[in-house]
Amino acid sequence: MNAADFAAENNLHRVGARPPLHRYLQEMWERRDFAITMAKFKIEANNQKNRLGMLWIGLSPVLTAAVYGVVFGVLQGDRRPDNFASFIIAGVFLFQYFTNTMNNGAKSIVSNRALVQSLAFPRMTLPMATVVQQLLNVTVIISVMYVILFVLGNPIKLSWLLIVPLVVIMTVFNAGVALFMSRLTAHTRDITQLLPIINRFFFYSSGVLFPIDRILSSFPALLQVYDFHPIYEFLVIGRGVLLQGYTVPSEYWWYASGWAALLLIIGTVTFWAAEESYGRVD
């Protein structure tokens, strides 16, 4: 009789074996309180370090938008998009939601290495905790954005409420990206060096600061490709529902939802596949 049979006969299971995907997701769901509490406590602990505390969550994107607004306002001269200040605010605020989740999600396993090496729980809890943390932050950020857009003269419309489904779609998308990136960085630490470059690529390619359709107006083929740029879609939808003088092509809602679903599936499966290896010391 070998050890495996002996173990099976006594109803023992191999420790650390990765459960099947549905059981894994169920186990993670049972740990949702841990993920949510960790997200809340991390926000609280971060805020305690700064004198202005919670204010920074809203203040940081405002200052970023101000800097970009001035620089790119001057650079673009009279080729500025309509309603320029609001254009920048909506772009920067929504883009930051994506980029913050990707960055923190990517580092979620690496920066919690001690925790991963001392307690056994479904590792997916860690990237999901950062997604929750950013989701909590974005509710503050969006309220700030509403106030600024109103002050900038955008009339309050019923379509402002459509930010809620947009945030839902973006959260699903971000979760997928965070899961995917956290597996990559857990195995190859070098990816953290690439993160700022990946960020910048998306930042400049998704038209946060300038209107893509005007710049590419002489390349209609390229513009068609842009219909399938997920982050560009998010920004177009966001500006369409919020700003005076912008509209949303209705198919963008479908494209964006499709991207979100696809990324979540890819991210979940990729992350789960390496579940046994995150605690490795190397």
Cβ of residue 70: shortest distance to other proteins, in angstroms?
A: 35
Residue with Cβ nearer other proteins (32 or 214):
32
Contact 182, 127 (CB under 8 A): yes
Q: How far, in Å, CA of 164 to CA of 154, rounded?
A: 18
Q: How far, in Å, CA of 101 to CA of 134, rounded?
A: 6
Residue with Cβ nearer other proteins (13 or 22):
13
SS3 91: helix
The single-letter DSSP state of residue 245 is T
Residue with Cβ nearer other proteins (10 or 250):
10
- Contacts of 149-156 with C-beta under 8 Å, sequence gap 24+, read 149/86, 149/89, 149/90, 149/242, 149/243, 152/83, 152/85, 152/86, 152/89, 153/244, 154/83, 154/86, 154/242, 154/243, 154/244, 155/244
Q: How far, in Å, CA of 79 to CA of 147, rounded?
A: 27
Residue with Cβ nearer other proteins (124 or 260):
124
Cβ of residue 267: shortest distance to other proteins, in angstroms?
A: 22
Residue with Cβ nearer other proteins (123 or 239):
123
- Which residues in this chain contact other proteins in the complex, by CB under 8 A? 1-4, 6-7, 10-17, 30-31, 33-34, 37-38, 41-42, 44-45, 48-49, 112, 114-121, 276-277, 279-282
Taking alpha carbons only, the member of 106, 110, 105, 114 closest to residue 35 is: 105
